[in-house]
Chain A
Amino acid sequence: MDETNKIKFTPETEALMQSIIKRYPEGKHKSALLPLLHLAQMESDGWLSVPVMDRVAEILHLQPIEVYEVASFYSMFHTKPVGKCLIEVCRTSSCWLRGAYDIVAHIENKLGIKDGETTPDGKFTLRTVECLGSCGTAPMFQIGETFYENLTTEKVDKILEENKDRKTHTSYLDHSTFSQR
């Protein structure tokens, strides 16, 4: 792809990627694909465009298709743009029992969007997702790395307010998540 050349991650990220590749035995660098895609997404407004995935393929000496087929398999990799604040609400049994659908309906009303949509101003994306392993503190949602638990509509309003003027996209991780040894 011609556009590949245009994509470069920051030197800090590229260095972190190289240190993560070293976590796996020689010749098994493909193992680093998931962590590298997470870092690439973190640097690319929360989603993976084709040029971004091509850059990851280049770093790992993989065919681009090996990256695309993995990116499309896992639900945390977003292959389309997302809003600055991505809200992922758990909808499975235990959360459903404790009112998750009320939380979803409240957010939908408040933001004027449906599940899976992004607000026209690009500020929020709402997604319902499958069990996030927070069943004892239901209902809950995840924004980036943070779990918001035992939600009430009042709590949700406060969280939406706090996130309405975000300058950067929410991310599941940052440069300090992985340590370099």
Chain B
Amino acid sequence: MERRLLFEHIEVPGIDTYNVYRSKGGYASVEKALKTMTPDAVTEEVKKSGLRGRGGAGFPTGMKWSFLAKPEGVPRYLVCNADESEPGTFKDRYLMEHIPHLLIEGMITSSFALGANTSYIYVRGEFFYIIRILEKAINEAYANGWLGKNILGTGYNLDMYVHPGAGAYICGEETALLESLEGKRGNPRIKPPFPAVKGLYDCPTVVNNVETIAAVVPIVNNGGEAYAAIGIGKSTGTKLISASGHIRKPGVYEIELGVPVEEFIYSDSFCGGMITDKKLKAVVAGGSSVPILPADLILKTTNGEPRLMTYESLADGGFATGTMLGSGGFIVMDETTDIVHNLYTFTRFYHHESCGQCSPCREGTGWMEKILHKILDGHGTKSDIDLLWDIQSKIEGNTICPLGDAAAWPVASAIRHFRSEFESYIAHSGNGIKQAATAQKATVNM
């Protein structure tokens, strides 16, 4: 069963409008925080909740907030990262489309905790229809006294704006996002200094994902301890999972962290099993950058324990036999899937999205794409697999931002777990094998 905390009211007709949202207890966290709590007390509840960044990195949110520098007379900013673009991930878009006021409410409560008087929501440019929805929701919040000057008569002021991106995956990296918000190319900054000290306009800034900010609402309403009681161990609370690929019921599911992966794939409460009753072959569990795992390793750890949807269980075994929860972009592949071709779509993606600042990533992603294309096209040689391995190992850890790692991990994991598929392509090179190994009618577009 889903465990609905953020999505408790998502099926209520009209929940995207202020009046309905308010009638369901909306904006209670703002009232509670502004009228009965200090900013530090709000941060304390977030710490107690164990909430971890839902954008993919999983860093404890309360700790991130507590790093925020507070020099006298310098403005502080909260920036919401709504640049959702990790392949396989569409949960933030779903949340903003269906229950936009939850994000606005979370932004107000969080801004109060951080002492920010101006906040921005950076939305990926392709989502202009979402920007339209958020603009309307913000207007409604202003009209009802939740934004602007002297909110609820408490003396707290807050202005909130939506800012559109323009098509660049890299702007999901927080310092690239800040560069972009300043009207520049999205080139990530060298850290330190971290945004908590020098962020937007060189001022202390917190950048949080949409789902993270939305989770602050139930945390403040019910207390951090109540939130921490949901889930298992350090994987507290609920998580939005974007499920796609060869499953009967693709969509966004809110789960209590700890649901077994097998249940998530096969239960009718979630993915509903494989679309054509074909066998499960592989899963990318947390968005395109996390290691792909074959069916046996995604369902069970090497100790034979059922794999659970938690940060820890998915990572069990390290990258040798495990993966990551990441953004919760859960891509399911059946036995007909051509793993080499799937990897090609990922590698082409990372090449296209590399900002070009660091040589290992700029050049390496291009080389990996070219080699994979060559293999798919029936011209691969035995040394190509080792060459791919060599390139990815030289990108990982050698770039300013994590895009390099994100490009390397899918390549390493595909070779690690599905080496025979690469070898099969290469063994048949020159025989027009291009289509034979694949069930997809793939025309390779360069």
A128, B342: Cα distance in complex, Å = 16
Judge whether A136 and B288 touch: CB under 8 Å.
no
A31, B180: Cα distance in complex, Å = 8
Judge whether A12 is part of the interface by a CB distance below 8 angstroms. no
For residues 11 through 34 of chain A, which have their beta carbon under 8 Å from a beta carbon of chain B?
A: 23, 25, 28, 30-34
Contact with A along B168-195 (1 / 0, CB 8 A): 1100000000001111111000000000
Judge whether A75 is part of the interface by a CB distance below 8 angstroms. yes
Contact with A along B410-443 (1 / 0, CB 8 A): 0000000000000000000000000000001111
With contacts A96-B440, A104-B445, A130-B352 known, is A76 near B126, CB below 8 A?
yes
> Which of A28, A92, A104, A177 touches B131 (beta carbons < 8 Å)?
A177
Judge whether B132 and A93 touch: CB under 8 Å.
no
Residues of B within 8 A of A31 (CB): 163, 181-183
A94, B251: Cα distance in complex, Å = 12
Report the minimal beta-carbon distance from B354 to chain A, rounded to whole angstroms: 12
* Residue among A33, A69, A94 having the largest count of chain B Cβ atoms under 10 Å: A94
Judge whether A101 is part of the interface by a CB distance below 8 angstroms. yes
Residues of A within 8 A of B355 (CB): 73
With contacts A30-B182, A94-B88 known, is A135 near B167, CB below 8 A?
no
Residues of B within 8 A of A135 (CB): 87-90, 242, 244-245, 250, 329, 331
Judge whether B127 is part of the interface by a CB distance below 8 angstroms. yes
Judge whether B182 and A93 touch: CB under 8 Å.
no
Q: Which residue on A lies nearest to B83, using beta carbons?
A: A133
Judge whether A159 is part of the interface by a CB distance below 8 angstroms. no
Q: Is the interface of B mostly helix, strand, loop or mixed?
A: mixed
Judge whether A38 and B342 touch: CB under 8 Å.
no
Judge whether B135 and A97 touch: CB under 8 Å.
no
Q: Which residue on A lies nearest to B187, using beta carbons?
A: A73
Judge whether B246 and A97 touch: CB under 8 Å.
yes
Residues of B within 8 A of A115 (CB): 445
How many B residues, CB 8 Å from partner? 68
Judge whether B93 and A133 touch: CB under 8 Å.
yes
**Segment touching B, from A1-9, A79-87, A140-148, A160-168:** A140-148
Residues of A within 8 A of B443 (CB): 101, 104-105
The chain B residues found within 8 Å of chain A, CB to CB, are: 75, 84-90, 93, 118, 124-129, 131-132, 135-136, 138-139, 142, 161-169, 180-186, 201, 242-246, 250-252, 284, 288, 329, 331, 333, 337, 341-342, 345-346, 348-349, 352-353, 355, 440-443, 445
The chain A residues found within 8 Å of chain B, CB to CB, are: 23, 25, 28, 30-35, 37-38, 60, 66, 69-70, 73-77, 91-94, 96-99, 101-102, 104-105, 115, 128-138, 142, 145-147, 172-173, 176-179, 181
